[in-house]
Amino acid sequence: MFPSMPKDDPWDADASRDVARLNPGRPKAGMYGAVPEDEPAEEPPAGDPDSDGEEEFEEIEVVPVRAKLSVAIGGFAALLALALIIGSLTTGPDIRLPYAVVLFGVQLLGLLAWTMALNPPAASVTAGVAGVTGLVGCYLAATADEAGLTPLLYVTLGGFLVAIVGQTFRAEDRHLITDSWRTTLLIVLGVVAYVIPIVLSRQPLGGQAILVCCTGAGLALLVARLTDAVFPKPRIAAQVPRGAAGVVLGAMVGTFVTAWLGSQLVLPFTPAKGAVTGLVAAVAAILVDLAVNFGEAGRRLAGEAPTFWLARHMTGPLGGFALAFAATYALVHLYLT
């Protein structure tokens, strides 16, 4: 009854593909066409942790601790403390000049180290002005009729202002003053801080305070560095070659020995006051030493040229004693008196 359908259909799959290729505006096959197209392969999302294109985290470099270098820095700190103690014990009303000469030599060492580490504008001018400032401070502290901190404050302010003026002559240095004036002030303050032992040696409690201060700071730095040479753990930071055990142990040893010194000295020193004075000096010295290490790590991470090796290793102990002297002067007049 019904006519038979032809067996060979001219509209096969190949014909559909040809029509779709010749008429791009027509709907794609798979919607209304005869032959569905293969679905495109799904790409993994960009944030997929299992994808092959995942960026790997950069591995943090662990700076090794150089044992011999740690021992050398600790030895330098101990020798510096010993020289300062002997100088304070041998000075007197008529023999202040040798102690002033020794302190001026230490000032020059610190000036060299701090200028190379902090790199202020017009470095040679800044170093020269700071050196003259330290020399004038030593002279005034040794020859003044009355020992006090006021002349040193005026000398520090004058040296800082002259150094700033010296940095304005060159155009490439002038535009850096607004950012680097703190660095200049820090260098001048560090140099003048080594005049404080002369002032203290002329005051009733000054000699004993210098003994306690230098003992606490020197032992703290020595023990901390020796501990780093043997057991530099736990690391304070991967980029800083220092261990927390040495920092804590150094402060403890410095405090314990100065407490014993307080029991041997005359009043108003007591074991408690000796321990407090030694602890303040030890913590000040260790913090400055650690700050120098972190500063060098920051320069290394920023790709800057490292400081000259001799200046780099002396900066910490020299800066630590400078801050310890300032703290000791404050303790003598606010706590011990």
DSSP 19-65: HHHH-TTSPPTTTTSSSPPPPPPPPPPTT-TTSTTPPPPPPPP-PPP
Q: Is the pLDDT score of 18 beyond 70?
A: no
Structurally, the chain folds into a number of domains equal to 1
pLDDT, average across residues 155-180: 86
Q: What is the DSSP string of 177-214?
A: HHHHHHHHHHHHHHHHHTTHHHHHHTSTTHHHHHHHHH
Please report whether residue 162 resides in a domain. yes
Query: How far is residue 202's CA from residue 99's CA, in Å, rounded to a whole number?
Result: 12
**Residue range 38-78, pLDDT digits in tens:** 555 555 555 555 544 444 555 667 778 888 999 999 999 99
Confidence of residue 317 (pLDDT cuts 50, 70, 90): very high
Please report whether residue 83 resides in a domain. yes
Please report whether residue 192 resides in a domain. yes
pLDDT at 51: 46
Please report whether residue 59 resides in a domain. no
Task: For residue 242, give its domain range.
Answer: 67-336
pLDDT at 337: 78
Buried b (16+ CB within 10 A) or exposed e, 50-79: eeeeeeeeeeeeebebeeeebbebbebbbe
Please report whether residue 135 resides in a domain. yes
Please report whether residue 159 resides in a domain. yes
Query: How far is residue 305's CA from residue 15's CA, in Å, rounded to a whole number?
Result: 73
Please report whether residue 26 resides in a domain. no
Confidence of residue 23 (pLDDT cuts 50, 70, 90): low
Check: CB of residue 289 under 8 Å from CB of residue 262: no
Q: Is the pLDDT score of 20 beyond 60?
A: no
Greater model confidence, 253 or 313: 253
Please report whether residue 185 resides in a domain. yes
Greater model confidence, 101 or 47: 101
